[in-house]
Every structure is written in C-alpha cells, then in structure tokens.
C-alpha cells in the first residue's frame, strides 16, 4: 500500500502489464492536470487484507481528488452493501495504493473519468488486461432530474477540476489550486458541507428542483459552488441567483456564466433591502453588512425558504442602544466588550426571531473570510410543524428589556408583516 510513487502513478517496480501501465500513466497525467473527476474500481476479486479488513462484499471503490489542509489528497470511498468507508489519503500515498491494487489484479475493471474521456481498464479471468479510451459528451452543465443520491454522497467535496473554479481564479489553467486561494477553497468546501447537512434534514431532502438566492453574493465563489454542487454532484434541477449591489461584480459573474454556458444560474444587480423574489427554497446571505442581514432573513422567511444560512457582519444597529445593566457594567465599560456583547445580542435575537418564525436555528463558528475575521454562522431549517410562540416571545422581550434595546431591524420587519404578535 505504501510503495513509493512515480510521476506516472506506477509502483516503483512498475506494472508488468502494458495496459495497466497506460491506465496509471493516464491517471497520473489527469491528476497533475486537474482533469481527474473520478476513478472507479469495480469487480473486486478479494484477497487484499487491507480491504477485507474493512468489510465483506466490497461493491466498488470510488476515488475523487480533494484538497485537505491545502494539500492534494484522494478521497477513497469503499462501498459495501450496508456502509461506505471513506479514507482520505495524501495524493502520492493514494496513487500508490491504487497502483498496487491494479498491478495485483485485485479489481477486474477500473474506470478513469476526465471531463472529456473515460478510460476503461478490463482484466480478463486469465489476468490479461486491455485498455479502451472513449470520448465523453461534454460535462452536462444543464440540470437533470435524476433521482436523489444516497445521503452520504451529498457530502462529497467539490473537485478541483470543476471549470467554475478556474474561471474564478481558484485554480490555474491546469486545474491546480492557486496557493493564495487555499483558504477560500477550504471555506467553499466547508460551506457546501454545512449546506449539505441542512439539506438532508430539511423538507428539501427529496425535492428534485431547488431555488437558491444568495444575497450580497460578491464575486460569487459560494454562489457558483452551490450551483455546481447541486447540479453536478447532486444532479438536482437547481436555479441559483446571486443578488449583488455592485454592478462590476454582477458583470464579472455574468461573464463566467456565459463562458461556461451555465444553465439555471443568474446574477442580478439589486439591493437586498428592496428585492422581491418569488418563492425560494434556500436563502443565503454571507457577510451582508449590518441590517442587510436582517432584510435578507426577513425576505427568506417571507419567501418561504426552507433553509436560511447567513453569516452576519457589522453589528451597528444595537450597539448604541445597549445599556450596561448591573452587574455587567464593569465588563461593558470596555469598548471591545460592548462590541462583542452587541454582536452576541443581535445574533441571539435573530436566532430567536427565526425560532419564532418556525425554524430550528443554530449559531456556530464558520471559517472566516480573508477580508474579515467574522466567523459566525446562523443556520435555520424550517420545522415541519409550528411551535408555541409564547416562550420564545418572552425570551426576546426579556433580553431586550435587560439591555434596554428598543429597536431591532428583523423584529420590526416581522412585526410589520404580522409575522410576530404586536
């Protein structure tokens, strides 16, 4: 399993079968060019202690490139009838393991998928290998209504070979991660992981078509990632709209949509405070400044969003109203503590207001962006049944009274709509 790896992805002593050698060469090339989408190893013949130790009746081994801690890895998913076992190995180690499996004939068939080719390696019962290279139709950007995948597959990370990453400057022309973008790449994957988990426990879990709006979408890293993940990975019919105040960013993202001929993806110039969408399923607002987050949440609630995901930024509204009630006065006399308290109170109230509006809400740490140290996320997933408002309303009232807060934007918007009792 840990034999040294050559650039051609063959073990040190090299495969004796030329077809196996060619398959491994193509794998090595596809990985180094960022073109490897997936490797599938099927028809396991048994007899490898490292695999047999994981379980019986291995159905397939699915391999995808991923980046972990900024380093290229391969994610190996061993699929058994009742479980998946995932091993993420550094790329060189993983290639060596795969080469070893193929050289020993442990799998009868191996498939390498790139955006343009499918390379098939078949090993006969007599151990004779043959290689076939087929052209693939262009990767479908258009959504299909394929059935929802198995739950575990939803958490698959995005592949670095996805074209939108190159267009947005996350990867270079060879599909390699640009070092300065490793933090952004990590954030994109973490975001997809959070969204995937929320999707699974929401009413959208089995819904084939999903409408997402991302407010304050900026350069669109997450907007494009969500679209790609929904359409390419989950094979859902996704409509993803980025709404952004700055026209130059809208133009930039529209060019990417046009270049990649993306369907189900749009970018609009607009202000979240005045935007009136039709019904939507997922509302995203990451780092929308100050009360723009309140407007986005309000809009998501009104538009019937099943999932609301926001990462608030700048908590200006509440801070000047904040009293320093006993015994907090000695703590809150420090400006930094006032800012922290205002942030906690604002986001705590937002979470309670979302609860009051019928959502299960979590507040947790998220990976910060490079241009801000804000790293909080509010995730709200709509509950199937409404719950009694009394307790939540009392908590909101008590907190506001304690701190002397008169005005909170989201609360005012919900009350004006009659979504909260007056």
Ligand X SMILES: C[S@@+](CC[C@H](N)C(=O)[O-])C[C@H]1O[C@@H](n2cnc3c(N)ncnc32)[C@H](O)[C@@H]1O
Cβ nearer to ligand X, comparing 84 with 290? 290
Stated as kind and residue range, the H or E segment containing 252 is: helix 247-260
Encoded one letter per residue, x for contact with ligand X by CB under 6 A and - for no contact, window 368-407 reads: -x--------------------------------------
Q: Which of 194, 258, 203, 259 is nearest to 229 (CA)?
A: 194
Least CB distance to ligand X at residue 214 (A)? 7
Enumerate the H helices of 13-90 as residue ranges. Answer: 18-32, 49-52
8 A C-beta contact, residue 51 and residue 78 = yes
Query: How many residues comprise the chain?
Result: 422
The span from the CA of 123 to the CA of 121, in Å, is 7
Least CB distance to ligand X at residue 270 (A)? 6
Encoded one letter per residue, x for contact with ligand X by CB under 6 A and - for no contact, window 264-283 reads: -------xxx----------
Among positions 288, 356, 392, 396, the unique one binding ligand X when judged by CB under 6 A: 288
Least CB distance to ligand X at residue 170 (A)? 12
Q: Which of 223, 238, 353, 192 is nearest to 287 (CA)?
A: 223
Cβ nearer to ligand X, comparing 199 with 284? 284
Least CB distance to ligand X at residue 246 (A)? 4
Cβ nearer to ligand X, comparing 238 with 322? 238
Cβ nearer to ligand X, comparing 212 with 369? 369
The span from the CA of 15 to the CA of 354, in Å, is 60
Task: Establish if 298 lies at the interface with ligand X (CB under 6 A).
Answer: no
Least CB distance to ligand X at residue 306 (A)? 20
Cβ nearer to ligand X, comparing 243 with 265? 243
CA-CA distances (angstroms) from residue 101 to 61, 98, 127? 11, 5, 13
Encoded one letter per residue, x for contact with ligand X by CB under 6 A and - for no contact, window 244-263 reads: xxx--x--------------
| Sheet-wide strand order for 209-215 | 265-269, 237-244, 209-215, 282-289, 307-313, 376-382, 359-365
Cβ nearer to ligand X, comparing 162 with 287? 287
The span from the CA of 333 to the CA of 349, in Å, is 22
Task: Establish if 170 lies at the interface with ligand X (CB under 6 A).
Answer: no
Radius of gyration of the chain (CA): 25
Task: Map tokens 């009104």 to a residue.
Answer: 302
Cβ nearer to ligand X, comparing 13 with 248? 248
Enumerate the H helices of 263-366 as residue ranges. Answer: 292-302, 329-332, 335-356
Q: Which of 316, 319, 317, 324 is nearest to 403 (CA)?
A: 324
Least CB distance to ligand X at residue 383 (A)? 26
Residue 205 corresponds to which tokens in the numbers above?
């879990």
Encoded one letter per residue, x for contact with ligand X by CB under 6 A and - for no contact, window 207-246 reads: --------xxxx--xx--------------------xxxx
Residue 371 corresponds to which tokens in the numbers above?
């241009």
Encoded one letter per residue, x for contact with ligand X by CB under 6 A and - for no contact, window 327-366 reads: ----------------------------------------
Cβ nearer to ligand X, comparing 225 with 357? 225
Cβ nearer to ligand X, comparing 199 with 288? 288
Q: Using CB under 6 A as the criterion, which residues of the chain lie in contact with ligand X when the complex forms? A: 215-218, 221-222, 243-246, 249, 271-273, 286-289, 292, 369
């Amino acid at each position: 399993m840990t034999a040294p790896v050559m650039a051609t992805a063959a073990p040190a002593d090299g495969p004796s079968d030329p077809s196996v050698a060619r398959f491994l060469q193509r794998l090595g090339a596809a990985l180094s060019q960022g073109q490897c989408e997936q490797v599938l190893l099927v028809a396991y013949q048994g007899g490898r202690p490292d695999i047999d130790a994981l379980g019986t009746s291995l159905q397939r081994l699915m391999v995808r490139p991923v980046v972990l801690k900024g380093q290229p890895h391969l994610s190996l998913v061993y699929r058994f009838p009742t479980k998946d076992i995932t091993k993420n190995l550094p790329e060189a180690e993983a290639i060596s393991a795969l080469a070893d499996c193929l050289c020993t004939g442990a799998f009868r068939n191996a498939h390498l998928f790139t955006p343009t080719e499918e390379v098939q390696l078949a090993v006969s019962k007599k151990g004779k290998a043959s290689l076939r290279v087929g052209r693939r139709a262009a990767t479908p950007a258009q959504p299909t209504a394929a059935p929802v995948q198995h739950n575990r597959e939803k958490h698959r990370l995005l592949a670095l070979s996805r074209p939108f990453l190159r267009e947005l400057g996350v990867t270079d022309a060879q599909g390699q991660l640009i070092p300065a973008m490793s933090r952004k790449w990590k954030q994109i994957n973490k975001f997809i992981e959070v969204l995937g988990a929320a999707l699974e426990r929401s009413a959208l879990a089995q819904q084939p078509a999903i409408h997402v709006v991302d407010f304050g979408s900026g350069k669109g890293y997450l907007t494009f990632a969500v679209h790609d993940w929904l359409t390419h990975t989950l094979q859902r019919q996704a409509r993803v709209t980025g709404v952004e105040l700055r026209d130059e960013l809208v133009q930039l993202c529209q060019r990417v949509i046009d270049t990649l001929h993306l369907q189900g993806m749009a970018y609009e110039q607009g202000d979240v405070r005045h935007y009136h969408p039709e019904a939507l399923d997922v509302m995203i607002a990451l780092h929308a400044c100050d009360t723009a987050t309140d407007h986005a949440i309000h809009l998501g609630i009104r538009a019937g969003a099943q999932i609301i995901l926001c990462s608030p930024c700048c908590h200006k509204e509440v801070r000047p109203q904040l009293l320093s009630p006993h015994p907090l006065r000695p703590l809150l006399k420090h400006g930094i503590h006032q800012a922290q308290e205002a942030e906690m109170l604002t986001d705590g109230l937002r979470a309670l207001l979302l609860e009051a509006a019928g959502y299960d809400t979590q507040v947790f740490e998220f990976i910060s962006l490079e241009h801000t140290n804000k790293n909080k996320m509010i995730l709200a997933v709509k509950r199937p049944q409404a719950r009694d408002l009394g307790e939540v309303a009392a908590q909101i009232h008590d907190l506001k009274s304690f701190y002397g807060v008169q005005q909170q934007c989201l609360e005012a918007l919900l009350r004006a709509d009659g979504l909260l009792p007056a």
